[in-house]
């Protein structure tokens, strides 16, 4: 099965003034795991953007510090990226919206158990496809 290494860069707050939400950019790069360490790795590494936007109505309910909010939004977002990689549907830009329709008032994750976004590395196996390519 094909595996992909996903490496995240430094996150950035990209909230537009006047928005009723907060947005964060999590840049990341993907490369086939078999190419890691090879002379071809750089050539076959693709650059991507994950933008996670959280509606302001979630913020008081969750009551996270800014640092913890960033980690929680990273957790929500990187799970979407991993699902896209598994399905073979990853695009150059992935957008995730977090609002009352997607997440309840309950805190979704314990930020103490989430790794720091900058420099995070994940390996994801793509689902085997049946049929001809």
| Verdict on whether the full-model pTM lies above 0.85 | yes
Tell me whether residue 133 is in a domain: no
Residue 62 has pLDDT above 80, yes or no: yes
Tell me whether residue 29 is in a domain: yes
pLDDT for residue 64 = 96
Provide the strand spans (E) within the chain.
Answer: 3-8, 12-13, 21-32, 46-55, 93-98, 121-125
Domain that holds residue 119: 3-125
Number of domains the chain is built from: 1
Would you call 63 exposed, middle or buried from its count of C-beta atoms within 10 A (0-12, 13-18, 19+)? exposed
pLDDT for residue 1 = 72
Segment 29-54 mean pLDDT: 96
Q: Would strands 46-55 and 21-32 be described as parallel, antiparallel, or unpaired?
A: antiparallel
Segment 7-22 mean pLDDT: 95
Tell me whether residue 130 is in a domain: no
Tell me whether residue 67 is in a domain: yes
Tell me whether residue 117 is in a domain: yes
Tell me whether residue 81 is in a domain: yes
Tell me whether residue 131 is in a domain: no
Q: What is the pLDDT of residues 97-118, one digit of tens each?
A: 999 888 888 899 999 999 999 9
Tell me whether residue 89 is in a domain: yes
């Amino acid at each position: 099965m094909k595996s992909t290494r996903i490496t995240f860069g430094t996150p950035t707050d990209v909230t537009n003034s006047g928005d009723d939400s907060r947005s964060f950019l999590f840049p990341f790069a993907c490369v086939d795991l078999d190419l890691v360490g090879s002379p071809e790795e750089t050539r076959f590494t693709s650059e991507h953007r994950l933008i996670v936007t959280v509606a302001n109505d979630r913020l008081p309910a969750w009551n996270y510090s800014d640092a913890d909010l960033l980690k929680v939004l990273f957790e929500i977002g990187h799970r979407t990226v991993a699902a896209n990689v598994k399905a073979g549907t990853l695009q150059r830009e992935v957008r995730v919206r977090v609002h009352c329709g997607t997440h309840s008032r309950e805190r979704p994750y314990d930020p103490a158990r989430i790794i720091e976004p900058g420099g995070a590395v994940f390996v994801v196996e793509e689902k085997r496809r049946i049929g001809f390519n």
